Structure 1
Amino acid sequence: MPVNQTLSSFSDTAFITALFIYLAALVLSMVYYVKMLNVVDARRIRAAAADRELVNVGAGESSDSPAADADLADGDLVEEYISDEEMSRREAAANKVGGMTQALIWLGVLVHVSAAVLRGLATSRFPFGNLYEYVLMITAFTMVVAAIVIQRKEWRIVWPWLLIPVLSLMFFGGTKLYSEAAPVVPALQSFWFPIHVTTVSVGASIGMVSGIASLLYLLRIWQPKGKERGFFGALAKPLPNAKKLDALAYKAAIFTLPIFGLGVVLGAIWAEAAWGRFWGWDPKETVSFITWILYAAYLHARATAGWRDHKAAWINIVALATMIFNLFFINMVVSGLHSYAGLN
């Protein structure tokens, strides 16, 4: 069928618009990050002041005695004393920026999904015909999954860590991988085409969220709460505790394993219909299978005593790296039956 160039142009415009909306959301999320860093510092100052006051009272001194005042004056707590009103103001300011970030994210998701839908309508097919369209779809799926997961205020702090890789993928896809809307090659004109690729894309999108959560978990393990030091300590300070980050990575991987595995199985069924064999150890087939094995290994390690700490998280990160390697290197460099998934 002929390509509707008007809808294709609208899709390109929506893609660029979503990119700029996410960029604005990234800036806001960084402002939120800094504000939450200040909130965390303020809470710790107040907690330290309360602890010191309890020590003074326990030593037989009144909290408003000269000795208590002198004790406070010895440190920085007098200069940095934060009242209830100031604490409430800082938290309200941070929550306001966090809410604005969340609103921008949802607007970006709406425009992003519109870009994918318009691309499909322009070509009268599912928008998976080339690597640009695959990046368009996988980033859209990732943002939908992330926007659903990050509903609670405590998770909004994670947005910069998710937006940076998504924006990088979108920028690379829109500049280096862009292809004009066109009919797909004959090999992709199959009933299994949208089913297989959609399933793999959804699984990979959830896996991306899981892998980033594991990265943050390792950062938090390296910089424990209350013991943060240096630049990386400042980055880790506003993050949730390690247990919550690990739980997020684990729960996301629980969905990744069956969905991504189903995509691999559906690909094998399509391969039998198209090439007369279920499996041929094609490079993309092989690396996809390795990726699925790594997610299975992560879940197994996560449930095994002695592997529940950072060792399991490293397996999840390797799985994420393998998936990215499969997306770019296998599609664009290695010659195989899936090479047509690259540039048109």
Structure 2
Amino acid sequence: MAGISGPMAHLSDGLFTTAIAVYALAMVGYTAEYAFSRVGRKLAATSRTPERTLVGAGGPPVVETVDTGASAPPRRRLSADRIGRWSVAITVLGALVHTASIAVRAIAVDAVPWSNMYEFASVAGLIGIVAFLAVLWKLPTLRFLGAFVLLPVILMMFLAGTVLYSRAQPLVPALQSYWLAIHVTLVSFAEGALMTSAVLTGLYLVKQRHDKLSTREGYTPGSIGTLAAKLPAAATLDKAAYRIVAFAFPLYTVAIICGAIWAEAAWGRYWGWDPKETWAFIVWVVYACYLHARATAGMKGRIAAWVNLAGFGAIVVNFLVINIVVSGLHSYAGLS
């Protein structure tokens, strides 16, 4: 099917590219904040600060804490904090440009703009950014982790804009249903949020491993240990990742139900174990196991975290392998 070429389609592509550039600038800012802030080193210095006990003649011991000067933030830390705040503002700007790109694409095709892999990846990337900003609203101390969240979003958008790119085009008859707007919207929202959860879970595993090794005598942290020392507490990362999954899982569940209703209207059956349907069910089962493990004593922590990462791995397989390699009723990659 021939694509739509016009000023709106070209404007959407230009806004999409601009959004990538803005996100890249924000990522540089987050990286600078992470590199120059002294969050981890300050905490480490405070924990190693010895206390001296002064014993007066006949009097009770007086505990004196050695002042290391860590309480006075240096100029470099103030600059890093300022860079971090600007990075959040730049991220919001990028999200607005990204939203405009999707909205203009919708006008160009006169339909919801996520009927192929390029459009779906664009929407999922935007939701991943929005999920991170929502986490910052509740946990602003996680701000400097923006570099870790933006990196996979930028890579996915770059892949979408090159390898997976599809020109704006009208929907095929099977997709001309209001169930498309409901089903695919919920899926993109859920999977975009789950991407952010996977990033936080990966950081949690790094932090948890570092905390365990740092208790051993003679432990010398390498580059990974230096990175982990500046991360927030492992429990904080784990809780943030869990809350995102707890929000996204019901959306994904409703999306599968709506997809079944759409399948009955389009193909005359609710479920046919099409490859896309099968992998969607696998993703659902894995994340259900994660929520169960997260609530079960003895399975919290690393076990649940690995299950979370396995769920996102299943999402990646469903998005790339099933759409591109496997042929089925849900083949909508838009690649030619």
Q: Normalising by the residue count of structure 1, what TM-score does the alignment of the two structures yield?
A: 0.88
Listed as ranges, the gaps of 5+ residues in structure 1 are none
Selected match of 2:180 from 193, 207, 226: 193
Does the aligned pair in 2 maintain the 1:132–1:343 contact within 8 Å? no
Selected match of 2:106 from 90, 105, 120: 120
Higher helix content, 1 or 2: 1
User: Sequence identity of aligned pairs in percent?
Assistant: 38
> Mean Cα displacement is larger for which, 255-264 or 333-342?
333-342
Q: Which amino acid is 2:29 matched to?
A: L
Verify: 1:181 aligned to 2:178, yes or no: no
Selected match of 2:321 from 314, 321, 329: 329
Residue of structure 2 in register with 1:272 after alignment: 264
Verify: 1:98 aligned to 2:62, yes or no: no
Residue of structure 2 in register with 1:245 after alignment: 237
Q: Which amino acid is 1:215 matched to?
A: G
Residue of structure 2 in register with 1:108 after alignment: 94
Q: Which amino acid is 1:332 matched to?
A: I
Q: Which amino acid is 2:22 matched to?
A: I
Tell me the secondary structure at the aligned position of residue 327 of structure 1: helix
CA–CA distance in structure 2, aligned partners of residues 139 and 84 of structure 1 = 39
Residue of structure 1 in register with 2:129 after alignment: 143
- Provide the aligned C-alpha RMSD in A: 2.5
Aligned runs of 1:151-162 on 2, under 5 Å?
151=137, 152-162=139-149
The 1:221/1:43 distance shift into structure 2, 3 A limit, reads closer
CA–CA distance in structure 1, aligned partners of residues 71 and 314 of structure 2 = 49
Verify: 1:16 aligned to 2:17, yes or no: yes
Does the aligned pair in 2 maintain the 1:29–1:97 contact within 8 Å? yes
1:130 positional shift: 1.4
Q: Which amino acid is 1:209 matched to?
A: T
- Count residues with an aligned counterpart: 325
CA–CA distance in structure 2, aligned partners of residues 335 and 206 of structure 1 = 27
Q: Which amino acid is 2:182 matched to?
A: I
1:188 positional shift: 1.1
The 1:225/1:109 distance shift into structure 2, 3 A limit, reads farther
Aligned runs of 1:1-344 on 2, under 5 Å?
3=4, 5-36=6-37, 38-49=38-49, 51=50, 54-55=51-52, 57=54, 82=69, 84-85=71-72, 87-151=73-137, 152-224=139-211, 227=214, 229-343=221-335
The 1:226/1:329 distance shift into structure 2, 3 A limit, reads closer
CA–CA distance in structure 2, aligned partners of residues 289 and 234 of structure 1 = 39
1:84 positional shift: 4.9
1:42 positional shift: 3.7
Does the aligned pair in 1 maintain the 2:40–2:231 contact within 8 Å? no
After superposition, give the CA deviation of every residue in 1:23-44 in whole Å (9 maximum; x if it has no partner). 11111111011122x3432443
1:56 positional shift: 5.4
CA–CA distance in structure 2, aligned partners of residues 59 and 42 of structure 1 = 32
Q: Which amino acid is 1:212 matched to?
A: V
